[in-house]
Amino acid sequence: MVEGMDINLLDRILHAMDEAGSVRTLVPELPKGVRPVHLRVLDALSRTRGDDGCARVSDIGDALDMRMPNVTRAVREMTDLGLLDKTADPSDRRVVLIRATPTGEGYIRRYVVGVRQRVETELMATVSEEDIDSMIATIDAVKAAVGKACGR
């Protein structure tokens, strides 16, 4: 134990990080088969798509800082759910483009834009931007320290 450190400090830190992660469970109940990662993909699509409504799968992965196999799996699931359409880029057949279907667009409006606006309004009325920045920096530092201690 580090001298002067509360013996329960690590437990409190890990509990707080679990609680922070559980915030995602507070979004409205999702339709059957739709997972939070699907909303993240729709969010990234809404931010990265061009005027034609399409985005490259690789751009979605970059925007989410996700590995391509995970993005590809989510896109396949979302295509099966009728949320996305996939096409090959006419200028480079190796590039996969995705576009939200009308159902996917509805999910973007309801679960991505709508929830984001309500949360941001409440958050900014309750917590200062300085506190938010401090929280983010603290979480990053704790994650890095725990990762280093655990050899990751």
Give the Cα separation of 123 and 111 in Å (integer): 17
pLDDT at 6: 65
Rounded average pLDDT over 14-22: 81
Mean pLDDT of the chain: 88
- Evaluated on CA atoms 25, 29, 31, 33, the torsion sign reads positive
DSSP of the chain, one letter per residue? --TT--TTHHHHHHHHHHHHHGGGGGSPPPPTT--HHHHHHHHHHHHH--TTS-EEHHHHHHHHT--HHHHHHHHHHHHHTTSEEEEEETTEEEEEEEEE-HHHHHHIIIIIIIHHHHHHHHHHHHS-HHHHHHHHHHHHHHHHHHHHHTT-
pLDDT at 67: 93
The pLDDT-based confidence of 102 (bands split at 50, 70, 90) is very high
Give the Cα separation of 62 and 44 in Å (integer): 9
Tokens of 73: 């799996």
Q: Is the pLDDT of residue 2 over 60?
A: no
Q: Output 119 or 99, whichever has higher pLDDT.
A: 99
pLDDT at 4: 56
Q: Is the pLDDT of residue 131 over 60?
A: yes
pLDDT at 1: 47
Tokens of 138: 């603290």
Q: Output 107 or 14, whichever has higher pLDDT.
A: 107
Q: Is the pLDDT of residue 83 over 90?
A: yes
Tokens of 43: 């969010």
pLDDT tens-digit readout, 32-69: 999 989 999 999 999 999 999 999 999 999 999 999 99
Q: Is the pLDDT of residue 117 over 90?
A: no
